Structure 1
């Protein structure tokens, strides 16, 4: 299968490329400023994804069997700072990919987020009403609506949780950002009242490859890890896994700082509709920890502890 992958150098995109290659697929990855090698990508194309006419021309020439969209501006603060700019990647791009999917009769895998929910429910089902609380979440909801209104018969949207893993730049995932702070001598406050369901990108990538290979799983689905934990619990588990001092993290609550009081309290998914149909299963947190490595930029500090 020939797969067009946007966001190929990102945390999730790079993991998907490697997983797809292992399954024998030919991945053509689109990147922006990244110039390094991406394992699993057979051909790399440098392209500004806001230039939708150029993207369309390239996709029509390539004529892929599947399109996988991992490109996004995923930091809520960046979306709040530049709503119009972030909409180009978060809304206009998936809308264009949906049109291309319909034209090419190509499977489309679109990545969305747990953020489309407000965090007030114990458990979120795939048909639970969305209620975004920030600009990033509003854009993600709009992108879902656009994708499925344009090419419902070809599209699968996968809503994802907090991502774990090792990025190419070693600065994208939770543990990498924690190591960056710790290596600069910063203790890290983590919320005890913010519950998430983290999942390793390698596990998610396997799910995405299965979805590319299946024609019967269209629509919106949820995927996440097996267990929900508070951010503080995650930090504790990471610190212990790497044998680090536990005072590197500090227990905090969202209301302690007005900047974070609006953050969703609990984002936990019902995984049954998809997990019951796939070979890949949600991973436990200890297995996710076993794959993590110390980022290069923090190794000197780590070995000095």
Structure 2
């Protein structure tokens, strides 16, 4: 299968490209400014994804069997600062990809986010009413609507949670950012009252591959790890996994103690049963996710000196 992949150098896109290669698929990876090593894609193309005409011409030239959209501006603060710029990637791009999927009769896998929910419910189901609390979440929800309106018979939208994993640069994921802070002598305050359902990117990539290879799972689905845990527990267990003193490096904090964070969702617990019951890939426990994490290159000298 030929797969056109946007965001091929990102945390999730890179994991997907490598998984697809192992399964014998031909991945054409699109990157932005990143020009470093890119394992996985059989071909790569540097392209400004805000240039939708250039993207369309390239996609029509490639004529893929599937399109996988991992590109996004995912930092909520960036979306608040410049919503017009972030909408180009978060809304206009998936809209264009949906049109292309319909034109090419190609499967489309579009990545959305748990952030479309406000965090006030005990659990969120496929049909739970979204209530996006910030600009990033509003854009992701709008992208879901555009994809469904334009390519419902070809598209699967996958809402994903906080992602764990090893990025190409070693600076993108939660454990990489924590280790970078700790290497600078900075203890990290993490919330005891903010719960997420983390998922390893390799596990999410396996799900995405199954969705590419099947034609019977269209619409919106959730995927995540086995259970919700607090940010504080995540930080503690990451430190312990790397043999570091969690009691010195991780500080307990609460969202409500700082008005800057009081708006953050308290709990994002996703029901994944509708998808998990139909796939070979199964959700992972947090301990299994930790086993896949490595010390990133930017902090290896510091880490080995501990």
**1:248 maps to which residue?**
249
* CA displacement at 1:300 relative to structure 2: 1.5
**1:261 maps to which residue?**
262
Aligned ranges for residues 132-281 of structure 1 at < 5 Å? 132-246=132-246, 247-281=248-282
Residue by residue over 1:209-245, the C-alpha shift from the partner in whole angstroms, topping out at 9 and shown as x without a partner, is: 0000000000000000012100000011111111101
SS in 2 for 1:159: strand
SS in 1 for 2:260: helix
SS in 1 for 2:266: coil
**1:74 maps to which residue?**
74
* CA displacement at 1:255 relative to structure 2: 1.0
Which segment drifts farther, 243-252 or 2-11? 243-252
Q: 1-side partners of 2:61 and 2:171: how far apart? A: 34
Residue by residue over 1:28-77, the C-alpha shift from the partner in whole angstroms, topping out at 9 and shown as x without a partner, is: 00001111221110000000000000000000010000000000000000
* CA displacement at 1:185 relative to structure 2: 1.1
Residue by residue over 1:61-103, the C-alpha shift from the partner in whole angstroms, topping out at 9 and shown as x without a partner, is: 1000000000000000000011000000000000000000000
Aligned ranges for residues 29-44 of structure 1 at < 5 Å? 29-44=29-44
Which segment drifts farther, 175-184 or 216-225? 175-184
**1:123 maps to which residue?**
123
Aligned ranges for residues 81-96 of structure 1 at < 5 Å? 81-96=81-96
Q: 2-side partners of 1:116 and 1:10: how far apart? A: 21
Q: 2-side partners of 1:101 and 1:263: how far apart? A: 35
* CA displacement at 1:161 relative to structure 2: 0.3
TM-score (norm 2): 0.99
Q: Which runs of 5+ in 1 are unaligned?
A: none
Q: 2-side partners of 1:113 and 1:276: how far apart? A: 21
Q: 2-side partners of 1:263 and 1:194: how far apart? A: 8
Q: 1-side partners of 2:169 and 2:305: how far apart? A: 22
Question: Structure 1 residue runs of 4+, over 6 Å off?
Answer: none
Q: 1-side partners of 2:298 and 2:104: how far apart? A: 43
* CA displacement at 1:131 relative to structure 2: 0.2
Q: 2-side partners of 1:183 and 1:126: how far apart? A: 40
**2:300 maps to which residue?**
299
Q: 1-side partners of 2:36 and 2:279: how far apart? A: 33
SS in 2 for 1:258: coil
